[in-house]
Amino acid sequence: IILISSYLPEVYELADTLHVFRRGKLVATHGFRTASHEDILGQALAEKQEKTGGQK
């Protein structure tokens, strides 16, 4: 089953493996609850940091 969601509590509750995609490309894979919400969001939104040179 593939679950696509941006609601992380739901993903954490239902998923065994989490794949993070950005701009259609796989950027990270995590096992069951091995990454924090901050890690996942950082990987999913890294493009914004790249464009601003790491500044928020």
- 54 pLDDT higher than 60: no
Please state, as a whole number, how many other Cβ atoms lie within 10 Å of the Cβ of residue 20.
19
Half-sphere exposure of residue 12: CA atoms within 13 angstroms, side-chain side? 10
- 15 pLDDT higher than 50: yes
pLDDT confidence bin for 52, thresholds 50/70/90: very low
DSSP assignment string, the chain: -----S-HHHHHHH-SSEEEEETTEEEEEE-TT-S-HHHHHHHHTHHHHHHTTT--
The token duo for 42 is 């950082």
Amino acid at 30: H
Q: Taking residues 3-9, what's their average pLDDT?
A: 87
pLDDT recorded at residue 6: 84
